[in-house]
Amino acid sequence: MRKPLISGNWKMNHNHFEAIQTVQKLAYLVGKDELEAADVSIHPPFTDIRSVQTVIDSDKLGYALGAQHCHYEEKGAFTGEVSPVFLQKLGVQYVICGHSERREIFGETDEIVNKKVAAIQAHGMTPIFCCGETLEEREAGDTETKVLGQIRAGLEGRTPEQVAALVIAYEPIWAIGTGRTATSDDAQQVCAAVRACVAEGWGNDAAQAVRIQYGGSVKGSNIAELIAMPDIDGALVGGASLDADEFARICKLGV
Ligand code: PGA
């Protein structure tokens, strides 16, 4: 049984004061016992991680700490980068990698993403591996070619056990931050193809265990329908995770 994972990707929003307030408000709205239906991870900017960790630890909140990105090397001359070792020391459990904004704006290639997945797992954390197609690719009928190609390249070299332990986030790029959500049937179709691709490459056990999130304009009003789909095991939430009330509804799976 795959427990759903709801992940709030704050992107470059909320300074550390706003981060503390948001997490405290969220904790008030969604108590620990209401977190039973789903695991929840929060991915603030790097400068907020320590503050959010302190709130989660001191109030014993049931949220997992997440990061949005990291470098694949442990240390060295990489100005501006953050090591997976540092994130692990802070108690980070989930690290997003291969987000379409990192791929498109910062030029992250499949090779770089592949190294990051390995580094994140080598340091005992769980990668949230993102994949997704542009509108042009969808309209040209190339959705699966693009998405499954990213998965094969990004996860090449991983063992079945390693793939079983990670999270794959399917995020159609045209649905991110646009208010346009893939219909639950469309999202299910691609997520089923993702699972079939994992079965083909890493075996059926890995395919049954891997958690597949949908991302792209997820809200309190559409989470229930998405999560009801057999191959959708959670959501990667951007804009709607910034607001504690809206994110609380999503954490409660729209109930
Ligand atoms: P969105 O972002 O929910 O604002 O569409 C999702 C994401 O980019 O992870």
Asked if residues 35 and 252 have their Cβ atoms less than 8 Å apart, the reply is no
**Number of the ligand 1 atom closest to the C-alpha atom of 169:** 9
**Number of the ligand 1 atom closest to the C-alpha atom of 239:** 4
User: Is 1's pLDDT higher than 80?
Assistant: no
Atom 1 (ligand 1) nearest CA? 238
Dist. CA 77 → ligand 1 center (Å): 32
Q: Out of 46-50, 155-159, 175-179, 219-223, pick the least confident.
A: 175-179
pLDDT of 73: 98
CA distance 110 to 219: 29
Show the domains of the chain with their CATH numbers: 5-251 (3.20.20.70)
Dist. CA 215 → ligand 1 center (Å): 6
pLDDT of 97: 97
- How does pLDDT run across 165-174, given as a tens digit for each residue? 999 999 999 9
Q: Which residues line ligand 1 (CB under 6 A)?
A: 9, 171, 176-177, 215-218, 236-240
Atom 6 (ligand 1) nearest CA? 238
pLDDT of 182: 83
- How does pLDDT run across 102-132, given as a tens digit for each residue? 999 999 999 999 999 999 999 999 999 999 9
List CB contacts of 95: < 8 A, sequence separation 6 or more.
66, 67, 68, 69, 70, 84, 87, 116, 120, 125, 126, 127, 128
Dist. CA 180 → ligand 1 center (Å): 11
User: Is 140's pLDDT higher than 90?
Assistant: yes
- Which residues are known catalytic residues? 99, 171
pLDDT of 44: 98
